[in-house]
Amino acid sequence: MPNIPEEVACVTTLGSLLGIAMANVQDAPSVFGPTERGIDVVFDLEGRRIGAQHTVFHFDEGTPGQRGSQARATEERAARQTTGATAMWIDPNWQRALVYRINEKIDIADRHDNRDVVAATWLVVSALLPRHGAAASTAILEALITTTELDRLFNAALTASRFDRVYLMLHLRQVVFGWHRGGVWQRVADPDARGREEGRRQALGTLDLIRRHGKGEL
């Protein structure tokens, strides 16, 4: 069953991380009634009504012969027994699970023409959820994600889909990767980028000092 409050909260968080002024963020059933439209959340942006599908990444989805996410079930079961973090091996190969999740949402969007009620449809994929019983099974290793790989995996399918924008949001890292129709994937939110770049420059400076010292240049 969908977690409606979480869906609304995740889309609201996206707006905050992107620095855009979403207004009237509501769950779709409250706006459109119980009729299924393939939209989970509705909001206003710059005078336009936007509909968003929201979904959650689990690193083991799409495994051949497996239905759903066993990692999710394991973590949720552990969370009912303890308030501590769940120790879990995380598959670094995020591609299969993300392809599975996005393709499933593309199929859902293709079954619904919502141009009469929204000006655009977005897809919001949440990962690294900051919630007890979810953080491990929804983990994706940011360092292994490249926009080049996201382009390769998704640009053709998304261009043919009903989605106007797609966002992959790593909640605990506050990092967002985004795609829009006619464009390519980009890292569109990353509050720690400046600090990481400064750390990289300092490390390179230290290595240069070590190299020069070794050559007797100091």
pLDDT digits (tens, 9 = 90+) for 115-135: 999 999 999 999 999 888 788
Q: What total number of domains does the chain contain?
A: 1
Asked if the structure places residue 55 within a domain, the reply is: yes
Least confidently predicted of 112-121, 158-167, 189-198 = 189-198
Range of the domain at 60: 4-191
Q: Given a cut of 50, is residue 218 above it in pLDDT?
A: no
Asked if the structure places residue 170 within a domain, the reply is: yes
Asked if the structure places residue 199 within a domain, the reply is: no
Asked if the structure places residue 218 within a domain, the reply is: no
Q: What is the pLDDT of residue 173?
A: 93
Q: State the Cα torsion 43-47-49-50 to the nearest 10°.
A: -70
Asked if the structure places residue 120 within a domain, the reply is: yes
> Cβ distance 37 to 113 under 8 Å?
no
Q: Given a cut of 80, is residue 199 above it in pLDDT?
A: no
Asked if the structure places residue 202 within a domain, the reply is: no
**What's the predicted TM-score (pTM) here?**
0.86
Q: What is the pLDDT of residue 21?
A: 95
Asked if the structure places residue 200 within a domain, the reply is: no
- CA-wise closest residue to 120 among 67, 204, 181: 181
- List pLDDT tens digits, range 63-108: 888 888 888 888 888 888 876 666 667 788 999 999 999 999 999 9
Report the share of the chain in percent with pLDDT over 70.
85
- List pLDDT tens digits, range 13-72: 999 999 999 999 999 999 999 889 999 999 999 999 999 999 999 999 988 888 888 888
Give the 3-state DSSP-derived string for the chain, with helices as H, strands as E and coil as C: CCCHHHHHHHHHHHHHHHCCCCEEEEEHHHHHCCCCCCCCEEEEECCEEEEEEEEECCCCCCCCCCCCCHHHHHHHHHHCCCCCCCCCCCCCCCHHHHHHHHHHHHHHHHCCCCCCCCCEEEEEEEECCCCCCCCCCCCCCHHHCCHHHHHHHHHHHHHCCCCCEEEEEEHHHCEEEEEECCCCCEEEECCCHHHHHHHHHHHHHHHHHHHHHHCCCC
Q: How far is CA 175 from the centre of its chain?
A: 9
Q: Given a cut of 70, is residue 198 above it in pLDDT?
A: no
Asked if the structure places residue 214 within a domain, the reply is: no
Phi and psi at 23, nearest 5°, equal -130, 155
Q: Which has more pLDDT, 34 or 6?
A: 6
Q: What is the mean pLDDT of residues 137-142?
A: 92
